[in-house]
Structure 1
């Protein structure tokens, strides 16, 4: 074996080279351990990591960071003062971080740590500014600067900090949104916020969707959306839908309707007393004052072509048992008498068929309903029914189409039916000549 390998001869001829190569290999191995492995060891055993690699800046910064930010592994955006500790303990951490920074002077995390441990705000601000300049990923530094700049009224600079955090850490929206919400409710700060949102940063729709859940002034989201209305990037359908849901949850129906009217494109504005988009000329926007289509298993609701130049609401059923489904729209009619009318055709096989109902929101029963769509209707057939909106407890109404099933066996249905040219019109003062379904349960 020795003859094949030749270890003895090599060692005898070049002993110093063998020793040097062995020492170099050991040094390289130790460097790999201290550089790549020790930072991970510091997360679980900081004492061991410091004992073995006290001169490694990454290890030192990792240990100090975990002491002053116990939640650092969770990447939350909370920037808080170090946990309760004596001044001497804080000074020891600061000196250790300063020593490590001398060996790695451009380390953004080290600069931010010294900013958090700085005894004075002016020194903290200097370190945080340096950390933010050296790394976009130092979200704690950018978050600290966001707070400071916002408190000083430097709104445009505060928004730059918020923009960086939300681009690099999208999951921190719940922490950053409250600062943006404060700006949205401040008339001066909101100008800077509107300019930022008009540039359509990638986090904008998430913020507008999140905003209603934290806002204290229900008008603030509307102001932002109106500011974006005539820009190249108006507020999206999802953020508007969430805003209207929020207003409905608060039961501020009058303001919800006002907000919807304000956000409507000019070409879609209609008379307030009619059913919106009753000819289905526009795709449903998701607004509660537009068509809300909720299909169910075995019942598919869609907008389809009725002729070359018109469209209709269509429901395809079964065959077999179908799940609950609805096509509906919220409407806001003043007290008085009205008539809902339209056309329908199709073929329904079952014990019950679909029926239109108008009801007061947050009240039991309907104030008017149509005949059921049953059997085979090949040609378009006119339908209408009249109803009275009472002057109390009926500030908002709904018009909804759903299968008029009353028992499990009546959910078994097959076929299809279409409705077109729907409208609601006032019919003058007083009670209508006939109110199908009657006003029972309106209160």
Structure 2
């Protein structure tokens, strides 16, 4: 009978429990099914009696106390229910149901310090619960006093921090709270991780909150990064690109090698060098998001090349992200040359162009081996500066 009960405890917990009324797993599964439906008062009372009887043989099983507490809570017996939940947590501080119920009670009773301890335990043991409870975190810890508690805990880099920030950034209702978190982490002792910043920036950009996204980018820069920023961030490629929005994003491409001062400091003294390996080039991904206010600007850079052949051209362009309207195109030239100045003017309209992208492109529509790129070309000191009227 015991073996049959164990075999059936997940599939048919009622039958399993009737075959062996000391099967705790069967009772737990039976209770979960009844809680998921609309258990009657009689059914809830029966669960309490059955769980109390099993406590005589499994006194250390915290789940039984949670079962009792949940059945009593659903029956309107709040005080004994939370006594049972507390007893459950005394046996196991990460018992999920008890932890969830006591967490909500701490929030309702205005006990943020206690709630934070419950959140920490819940997210460490049950990380799949972060998505469901992320909105509660933003609501509970938004006030100044409780917010300081949360930031203090997040500065210790708990294992759930990155996931929580990601879930907050993915929800429009909690997006601004996630930006506040990474900004304040950057101002404190524990710098946010690049992935945490990227999640928040991408969430803000996708939501059309471009000003807050750019402000968050600036406020999360390290001191070294702050020294190379401007309308174009790190226009001399002195730092390894982070890949975050508003920083350089450079993807590997067949037939092309990228190198920069940051990655090959012993070999180079300037900018970004692109070496072409006798192959067609289409769909380059060298880009940076810009946040240029409406106005008149000039895009400029220095270029050097060694026997570079560009059969389908190679140009820098700035376009509006939202409308895809091109603002400026600045082509490179073929051949060999050293430190020539390239520049072109552009105007950013106050209408429908709140975010721009600076990117490198070719005119190739399809890859043809008749259009093979070769040689190398370098770009340095890329800038966008305002022009006087």
d(CA) in 2 for partners of 1:358 and 1:380? 22
Q: Report the secondary structure of 1:420's partner residue.
A: strand
Partner SS, residue 364 of structure 1: coil
2:178 aligned residue: 221
Contact 1:42/1:49 (CA < 8 Å) preserved in 2?
yes
CA distance, structure 1, for counterparts of residue 318 and residue 310 of structure 2: 23
* CA gap 1:406/1:194 in 2 versus in 1, 3 angstroms: same
Which residue is equivalent to 1:122?
79
CA offset digits 1:306-335 (Å, max 9, x no partner)? 776734223344443445222111222233
Extract unaligned runs of 5+ from structure 2: none
- Structure 1 residue 277: deviation in Å? 0.7
1:138 maps to which residue?
Answer: 95
Q: CA deviation at 1:356?
A: 0.3
Partner of 2:299 in structure 1?
A: 340
Q: How does 1:24-39 map to 2 (within 5 A)?
A: 34=2, 38-39=5-6
Q: Which residue of 2 aligns with 1:43?
A: 10
Give yes or no for the alignment of 1:97 onto 2:60.
no
Equivalent position to 2:128, from 168, 171, 184: 171
> Runs of 4 or more off by more than 4 Å in structure 1?
270-273, 306-309
- CA deviations on 1:398-419 (whole Å, 9 max, x unpaired) are 2111223245438943334321
Out of 30, 49, 57, the position equivalent to 1:67 is 30
- The alignment yields a C-alpha RMSD, in angstroms, of 2.7
1:426 matched to 2:383: no
- When Rg is computed on C-alpha atoms for both structures, the one with the higher figure is 1
Does the C-alpha gap of structure 1 residues 270 and 397 become closer, same or farther in structure 2, counting only changes over 3 Å? farther
Q: 1:204 aligns with which of 154, 161, 168?
A: 161
**Cα deviation, residue 372, structure 1:** 3.0
Which residue of 310, 321, 325 maps to 2:269?
310
What per-residue deviation string (whole Å, max 9, x for no partner) do you get for residues 343-378 of structure 1? 22244335213210012221233111112343x325
1:108 aligns with 2:65: no
Structure 1 equivalent of residue 234 of structure 2: 277
TM-score of the aligned structures, taking structure 1 as reference length? 0.78
Task: Identify if the C-alpha distance between structure 1 residues 390 and 92 changes in structure 2 by more than 3 Å, giving closer, same or farther.
Answer: closer
Ranges in structure 1 where 5+ consecutive residues have no aligned partner: 1-32, 71-79, 430-443
Instruction: Note closer, same or farther for the CA distance 1:180–1:411 as it changes in structure 2 (3 Å cut).
Output: farther
Q: 1:423 to 1:110 in 2, by over 3 A?
A: same
> 3-state SS of the aligned residue for 1:199?
coil
Q: How many matched pairs?
A: 382
With normalisation by structure 2, the TM-score equals: 0.88
